[in-house]
Amino acid sequence: MGDGAEFLGLPDNVLWQRALKYYAQHDFFMVHEACEVLWKRSDGQDAEFYQAFLQAAVSLYHYGNANFSGARQLARSAISRLADLPSDYHGVNVKAFLNRYEALMSPVLLNASDLKPLDCRQAPPIQHT
């Protein structure tokens, strides 16, 4: 997507808050940009966390643009990563997000015959703990 150069000088906590703001605004492309920088800076469980939200955001972006195949592929990976994280991580209720995200993505995951592009306002909220 992009190179995220505008984020490189920001501390992780500021960058994560920026990603959350973009998510709340349904700007999934910019969530990807912010999370990609965080993911590349991180390792271990932190890297999994940021990559999971990066993939979830891009899957929602694809779903909204009727790229159901791309949405399906990224959703599978995001769900797998989210499922391996603790229930609460970095101040996020991961399990609540995962449950809502899986429910929203189920028509794509099941390759339903009547798929329509996602209305971004349906994206599950990211709840803070």
pTM above 0.85, yes or no: yes
In a domain, 129, yes or no: no
Quick check: is 4 in a domain?
no
Rounded Cα distance between 89 and 31, Å, is 18
What CATH code is carried by the domain that includes residue 23?
1.10.3450.10
Amino acid at 3: D
Does a structural domain hold residue 127?
A: no
Provide the number of structural domains found in the chain. 1
Residue 71 in any domain: the answer is: yes
Tell me if 5 is assigned to some domain.
no
Domain that holds residue 76: 11-122
Distance of CA 60 to the CA centre of its chain: 8
Residue 103 within any structural domain of the chain: yes
| 129 pLDDT tier (thresholds 50, 70, 90) | confident
Give DSSP secondary structure letters for 80-122: HHHHTS-SEETTEEHHHHHHHHHHHHHHHHTT-TT--PPPGGG
- Structural domain includes residue 1: no
In a domain, 3, yes or no: no
Residue 1: per-residue pLDDT: 46
Residue 5 has pLDDT above 50, yes or no: yes
